[in-house]
Amino acid sequence: MLLDPFEKIIANLPYGDGFKFVDHILEMDDNHVIGVYRFRESEYFYKHHFLHNPVTPGVILIECMAQIGLACLGTYLNKDEKESLNFVFTESHVVFNSIVKPGTAVIVSARKEYFRFGKLKCVVKMIDENEQKIAEGWVSGMIITSE
């Protein structure tokens, strides 16, 4: 079965199934990406955060934005590289406007601010499937090569 280029990027992300927060890429070019992830009720962190009223931890929401905005877009920008490259998340500034309950689908949009010397910075925004703003800010990361 042939994967489209976006599916291939997602399939090759360096995360296991329990820590991959990208289901689909809706669109992507050299300047932006839009991706989707549904936070399933079976996610491991809901059992303990918070008891009897689970919400998605903010750090996981930032990770989702970084995986779509840095890892996916960065891989796309480096599609001509021969060696295997990964993006590591280095810093962020994110403001939260809402919580994410189990079962919610989020849409992450990221716009490239700069990409040079192996460093990528993106302005990111996360909304839910009802277009309610969840978070916005920026994330940055850098390329590391896989040995």
Structural domain span for residue 16: 5-145
Sheet holding 32-38, edge to edge: 24-28, 32-38, 105-116, 119-128, 133-145, 85-96
> Tell me, what CATH number does 29's domain have?
3.10.129.10
**Is 49 among the residues known to form the active site?**
yes
Which letter does DSSP use for residue 17 in this model?
G
pLDDT category of residue 69 using cuts at 50, 70 and 90? very high
Task: Answer for the pair 56, 98: CB distance below 8 angstroms, yes or no.
Answer: no
| For range 17-26, the mean pLDDT | 96
Task: Answer for the pair 108, 65: CB distance below 8 angstroms, yes or no.
Answer: yes
pLDDT category of residue 146 using cuts at 50, 70 and 90? low
User: Which is catalytic among the residues 32, 49, 52, 93?
Assistant: 49
Segment 73-102, tens digit of pLDDT: 999 999 877 667 788 899 999 999 999 999
Q: What total number of domains does the chain contain? A: 1
This prediction has a pTM of 0.95
Task: Answer for the pair 62, 94: CB distance below 8 angstroms, yes or no.
Answer: yes
